[in-house]
Amino acid sequence: MKKKIIISFLSLFLLFFAGIVITLYIINMTTANLNALLTLHKVEIIRQDLVISVQTVQSNLYTSGTLFGKELDIIVDNVLKLRERAQTCTDCHHEPAIESEILLLQKLTEQYKEALSYFITSTADVQRIQRLQAFAADIGDTIITKSQWMAKTANEALRQKTTSAMEKVSKSKKILGLTLVCALLVVILISLYLINSITKPVAELLNATRTIKTGNLQFRITKQLQDEFRELAISFNEMAVSLQDQYHKLQQTERLAVVGELAAGMAHEIKNPLAGIKVSIEVLSQDLVLEQEDKEIFLGVINEVDRINALLNSLLSYARPPKPASVSFDVHQVLEATIKSAKYSLKTSSYDIEQKRKEINFIKDFDPGVSNIVADPAQLKQVFLNLILNAIDAISEQGIITVQTRKFPNETVEISICDNGKGLDTKILDKIFNPFFTTKSNGTGLGLAVSKRLVEQHGGSITVANNPYGMGVTFTITLPIKPLAEISEQADVEEAAASPGDK
């Protein structure tokens, strides 16, 4: 669009410039024609003046020595005026033929001047004087005849040139008019094109914005827009997708929160009667004399009550997680302890014989740069244990679980637990942290949801991804070395210490 606008404005500028050039050219041409006409008229006046001057001098010549004769000084003035007129003719540019005639006229004027001088100053008999007078008069007559002929010729030329000049002026006017109309049309076309190029995409974007505003988050700009507007439309569509995702997530979060609150409330209400039931069953099983078969039934009831109780505890942990009791501790030690617990749990698994048969190899890849972190070690141990047990569950007979730590410059540590088990379907990866979502037959679907709540409660994050090469998944926990508030406070203290002069 930017390019189009630049090209359009450049075109308009060039058009404007061309218009100016054409207008100036036409004005110059017209002015030149009019000037030529003016000059021709001036020349015409000069020629007429020349004829009048010669006639005046001729008159002076014929009346010389009579009562009507002029004083010599007047005659001299008239002759000099005549000469000046004849001289003026050569000041203008003429065609060679006319130039030659003018030169001849000037030559005649000089001869006339000479003859007049000769006549005026000569002292001789009457016949000689008359001859001198006649000689001068003849030259004067020749000049008049020639001047009149030239005036007539010039008149004809003037008439032709006037007609030609007026035609040129008329043509110039037409060209100028046509140029202006064309320029106006081009300007209108360019303007319309520019307006359309801007308003149409803007209208499309405006319409899309309004549609999104009405809540139709599925709406996308499908029309192929041009230039920057195309990029804008793509960004808009991406924004709409993001908005829709966020909206879905928000909806889900809200829904889960409501469900969690409801479940927690229910758990709280259920736990008390459940405790009563358990105590009553235990009392009954101790007081009554029961057959072994009946005792096992009572024991089964107590176990199920315990299971319900554990489920309710998980629900409560998810809905109202306990506030972390943060202390500085070595994360590697907690991981070591967790792995040990997991191994022990694997060996002493009372309800699943298959678990006991599994051959799991734990690989610890700890970064020595990872120092103590400030967090609740019990809650984190719960998270690590949950993830490791999930990894054990994912491995069918034998496998490797790699526990890795990494320290990042941004004061965070990364703890990843990777297994080479059966992995997860990509479709369920997004749902894995949802409460009550489980892939296990006997799972509650709260383990990972609780783990996520606990990690987030520490200001960290947890993600899951299938391993790029081979089987299994990797859970990655990112935790701040210190709680965010503490980091902020420390930064303030360091800043203050660095600038003691400010105090």
Partner 1 sequence: MTMRKRSCRLFLGLLFFISAYAPWQGLVFGQTDEILLGIEPEHNIFDQVERYRYLAAYLSDQLGIKVNLTIMSRYGEVIKRFKSKRLDGAFLSSYTAAMGIKELNLEPVASPVNFGGESASQGYIFVRKDSGINSVNDMNGRRIVFVDPATMEGYLFPLAYLHVHGVTDINSFFNNRFYFSGSHASAVFAVLDGRADIGSVKDTVFEKLVRNDPSISRELSVIAKSQKAPEFTLCVSNQFHKDLKERLGAVLLQMDKTKEGKKALRQFEALRFIQSDKSNFDQVEKMAQEARSSIHEHGNN
Which CB atom, from 73 or from 95, has the smaller least distance to partner 1? 73
CB of 83 to partner 1, least distance (A): 7
Which CB atom, from 68 or from 193, has the smaller least distance to partner 1? 68
Question: What are the φ and ψ backbone dihedral angles of 367, each rounded to 5 degrees?
Answer: -85, 115
Contact 165, 34 (CB under 8 A): yes
For residue 201, the surrounding DSSP H or E stretch is helix 126-213
Residue 41, CA distances (Å) to 36, 44, 84, 89, 452 in order: 9, 5, 18, 13, 105
Which CB atom, from 76 or from 308, has the smaller least distance to partner 1? 76
Alpha carbon dihedral 182, 185, 186, 187, in 10-degree steps, equals: 120
- 483 residue type, one letter: P
CB of 67 to partner 1, least distance (A): 17
CB of 85 to partner 1, least distance (A): 13
Which CB atom, from 116 or from 394, has the smaller least distance to partner 1? 116
CB of 119 to partner 1, least distance (A): 9
CB of 125 to partner 1, least distance (A): 7
Q: Of the candidates 433, 457, 458, which has an alpha carbon nearest to the alpha carbon of residue 256? A: 433
Which CB atom, from 115 or from 464, has the smaller least distance to partner 1? 115
Question: What are the φ and ψ backbone dihedral angles of 413, each rounded to 5 degrees?
Answer: -120, 150
Which CB atom, from 120 or from 233, has the smaller least distance to partner 1? 120
Interface residues toward partner 1, by CB under 8 A = 72-73, 76, 79-80, 83, 113-114, 116-118, 120-125, 128
Residues 293, 308: Cα–Cα separation, whole Å: 23
Which CB atom, from 77 or from 367, has the smaller least distance to partner 1? 77
Contact 338, 385 (CB under 8 A): yes
Sign of CA dihedral 253, 259, 263, 264: positive
Per DSSP (E only), the strands in 231-331 are: 327-329
CB of 156 to partner 1, least distance (A): 33
**Given the DSSP bridges, would you call strands 359-365 and 327-329 parallel, antiparallel or unpaired?**
unpaired
Q: Which structure tokens are listed for 44?
A: 């015409």
CB of 71 to partner 1, least distance (A): 8
Q: What is the DSSP string of 348-407?
A: T-SS-HHHHH-EEEEEEE--TT---EEE-HHHHHHHHHHHHHHHHHH-SSEEEEEEEEEE
Q: Of the candidates 441, 459, 452, 478, which has an alpha carbon nearest to the alpha carbon of residue 318? A: 452
Which CB atom, from 73 or from 397, has the smaller least distance to partner 1? 73
Which CB atom, from 78 or from 416, has the smaller least distance to partner 1? 78
Which CB atom, from 114 or from 261, has the smaller least distance to partner 1? 114
CB of 79 to partner 1, least distance (A): 5
**Given the DSSP bridges, would you call strands 398-408 and 461-466 parallel, antiparallel or unpaired?**
unpaired
CB of 89 to partner 1, least distance (A): 18
Question: What are the φ and ψ backbone dihedral angles of 371, each rounded to 5 degrees?
Answer: -95, -160
CB of 55 to partner 1, least distance (A): 17
Residues 122, 110: Cα–Cα separation, whole Å: 18
